[in-house]
């Protein structure tokens, strides 16, 4: 059997919540608090994400330089240009960027832990199925073994010639 990389114990109340955390409510409250502290967060459509300009490290330096130039030389900008809004956008970006990095790291850890726990559970389930099939004559398990085996049955695709014409 594979190495066991994750092992967590659960209290009865946590188990009933189907949560592998010692204090699910506190974690969920912390997430809710983050959302409350950032009420201006927005969601983007897939199309908006695809077409939006992205700012990486090189672009960040460019934007910072442009903001300095605009601040020191506002005379060449049209009246419709909102320098203060540009400044607010950059300040918001700078403030949120460390939060983004922390949340991304946390999400990766939660995702990896969840994936590992699921993989270990699935590996164990395959072992149980294999052992149950191998023992063969355990009273009353035939129906359950057959039900579990349905997980592995392949559906055949119908050929175009097998489909009746309309």
> What is the rounded average pLDDT of the residues 136-161?
76
Give per-residue pLDDT as tens, 1-31: 558 888 875 455 554 555 555 577 788 899 9
- In this predicted structure, what is the pLDDT of residue 71? 97
DSSP states along 100-127: HHHHHHHHHHHHHHHHHHHHHHHHHHHH
CB count, 10 Å around CB of 18? Answer: 8
More confident residue, 44 or 3: 44
Residues 91-142 have pLDDT tens digits of: 999 999 999 999 999 999 999 999 999 999 999 999 988 888 888 766 778 8
Share of the chain above pLDDT 90, in %: 57
Contact 31, 21 (CB under 8 A): no
SS (H, E, C) 43-106: CCCHHHHHHCCCCCHHHHHHHHHHHHHHHHCHHHCCCCCCHHHHHHHHHHHHHHHHHHHHHHHH
What is the percentage of the chain residues whose pLDDT exceeds 70? 83
SS3 of residue 30 by DSSP = helix
Q: What is the pTM of this model?
A: 0.70
Helices 142-149 and 83-135: angle between axes, nearest 10 degrees:
140
Q: Burial, 44: exposed, middle or buried (Cβ in 10 Å; 0-12, 13-18, 19+)?
A: exposed
Q: What is the mean pLDDT of residues 47-75?
A: 96
- So what's the pLDDT on residue 49? 96
């Amino acid at each position: 059997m594979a190495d066991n990389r994750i092992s967590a114990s659960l209290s009865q109340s946590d188990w009933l919540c189907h949560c592998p955390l010692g204090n699910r409510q506190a974690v969920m409250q912390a997430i809710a608090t983050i959302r409350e502290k950032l009420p201006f967060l927005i969601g983007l459509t897939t199309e908006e994400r695809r077409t939006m300009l992205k700012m990486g490290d090189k672009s960040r330096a460019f934007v910072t330089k442009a903001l300095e130039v605009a601040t020191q030389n506002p005379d060449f900008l049209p009246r419709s240009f909102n320098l203060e809004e540009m400044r607010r956008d950059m300040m918001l970006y700078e403030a949120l960027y460390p939060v983004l990095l922390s949340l991304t790291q946390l999400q990766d850890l939660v995702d990896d832990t969840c994936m590992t726990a699921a993989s270990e559970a699935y590996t164990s389930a395959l072992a149980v199925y294999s052992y149950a099939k191998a023992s063969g004559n355990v009273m009353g398990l035939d129906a359950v073994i057959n039900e579990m085996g349905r997980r592995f049955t392949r559906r055949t695709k119908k050929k175009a010639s097998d489909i009746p014409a309309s």
